[in-house]
Amino acid sequence: MPATVGRRTDRLASIRRAVRGVDRRTAVRLGIVAATIYAAWIAIGSFGRPYNFFDMKIYHGAMVWWVNGSELYDFIAPDTTLGFTYPPFGALVMAPMAHLPVAVAGWVNALGSTAALAVVLTALLRPVVDRLGQPLWFVVAVAVPLAAALEPVRETLGYGQVNLLLFGLVMADLIGLRWRSRRGTRYRRDDGPLRRFVFSGVWAGVGIGLATSIKLTPALFIVYLLITRQWRAAATAIGTAAGVTLGMFSVAGTESRAYFIRVLWQTERVGAADMTPNQSLAGLLARLYDSIETPGLLWLSFAVLVLALGLSRASTARAEGDELTAFTLVGLTTNVISPISWTHHLVWVIPAIVVLADAAVRRREASRGLTQRSAPASSYGGPPGVNGLRPPIWYPTMTGFRHGAAAVLLYLVFLVSPIWPYEHQLPEVSHYADGLFGALMENSLALALIVLVAALPWRPGAEPAFYADRLGRPDLVARR
């Protein structure tokens, strides 16, 4: 008996030593991460829809059909009118899934998409985390489940879509541009050629080119690179997209010809414009007119206006030193002007939320440096500051409030996704069946996108490394 008690005492002592070695802050952070994951899981179950890899089943069936020798774009999924709608290069990338069960292919895509989301959030949040002094692992571990609960991400993962992977390709070019602007600061002369190549960022543009080859809508980022005179990245993107697309004519000539001559123009293969999940400008107008089809001339007029506004604001954001906001505005503009933008396409709200939240924090921090410009202390009572001035007590507290409130509101809208309780489709049910409030809710995500294109703030000087030449700084050289 004493020996048993002694062994138990030894075990307790070892547990105490282990617990003593764990930082309390780390334990609290781990608890917050676990609570966030649980809350995200509950939110997905409450606000999401039943997910069964529906789109992945279409892709998987098309790949099995294709590798067995049938014409790719002749495939129609059983019990649907839906077929494969991506360019031939997209099919080539997806072809390996034909050798996997559809459920396995769906989970592989979900894991890969989640990993891409984590990498993107790490890149987006790294400058913010460094400024605030928080551990990067903790912020990213909280941000990933919070993002996963949003409508575009949960729909992408649940239906087996590729939007997060394309999002990762485009954002990789943002990282490449960032590294290229800081060339020489992330490697030493004795580093290997691969590391020097990666951190040189000379490959920036490849991600956008590949994303454009898989799905045509990222081509707007090439237009943005041309407008902002980022010639090397633009040339790389164009060369990648053109090389891959032309290469597919030699690998899958029949499919390539069929796609660009016939399939690309068959918009009915995707779905009706007035369907509730279509939260683009075209879908908004179709529902407002209570029509199956979008009023073409009106849509074209507004689309050109939104395109000019989005690209103009993106160009100005870059000129002001905020490349992330510039990329975000281009992505949001793509969502708005595309004829079809399903809710799982709207992943660009994620960096929009980050920009709004960071703008709130930056403004709050900047307000602390304005304390010497406030009204005289006698106006507020208490001891005067330097030169007899004292800031209003409320000023630092309220500064940045509207940006922070906008970030929270935007997150909640895409978390709750109020379109689904008011989902309708003609000709069975009018889009005004639930009154004007129902019509507003059914179009709420599209309206949010348009407001973001018009009003998303940029953060002057947020990434000044992109503008070394304009600031008169000499080129950075490699460190020893």
pLDDT in tens, 358-403: 988 887 776 665 544 454 544 444 455 445 555 555 555 677 788 8
Q: Which residues contact 289 (CB under 8 A, 6 or more apart)?
A: 295
| Cβ-count burial 231-240 (b if 16+ within 10 Å, e if not) | eebbebbbeb
Query: Would you say 349 and 319 are in contact if contact means Cβ atoms under 8 Å apart?
Result: no
Say if 200 falls within a structural domain: no
What is the Cα–Cα distance from 241 to 247, expressed in whole angstroms? Answer: 10
Does the structure show a pLDDT above 60 at 305?
yes
In a domain, residue 211? The reply is no
Tell me, yes or no, whether 13 lies in a domain.
no
Dist. CA 170–CA 198, nearest whole Å: 16
Q: Report the chain's C-alpha Rg in angstroms.
A: 26
Of residues 75 and 379, which shows the higher confidence score? 75
Per the domain annotation, does 234 fall within a domain?
Answer: no
Asked whether residue 400 is domain-assigned, the answer is yes
pLDDT at 1 over 60: no
Q: What confidence score (pLDDT) does residue 185 get? A: 56
d(CA 80, CA 102): 17
Q: Does pLDDT of 210 surpass 50?
A: yes
Please report the pLDDT score of residue 369 as a whole number.
58
The tally of domains found in the chain comes to 1
Please check whether residue 51 lies inside any domain of the structure: no
Residue range 245-253: mean pLDDT, rounded? 89
Q: What pLDDT sits at residue 190?
A: 59
Domain containing 411 equals 272-464
User: pLDDT per residue over 138-169, tens digit each?
Assistant: 999 999 999 999 999 999 999 999 999 999 99
Q: What is the mean pLDDT of the chain?
A: 84
476 in any annotated domain: no
Rounded Cα distance, 210 and 243, in Å: 10
Q: Is the confidence at residue 458, as pLDDT, over 70?
A: yes
- With respect to residue 307, please indicate whether it lies within any of the assigned structural domains: yes
Write down the pLDDT at residue 467: 46
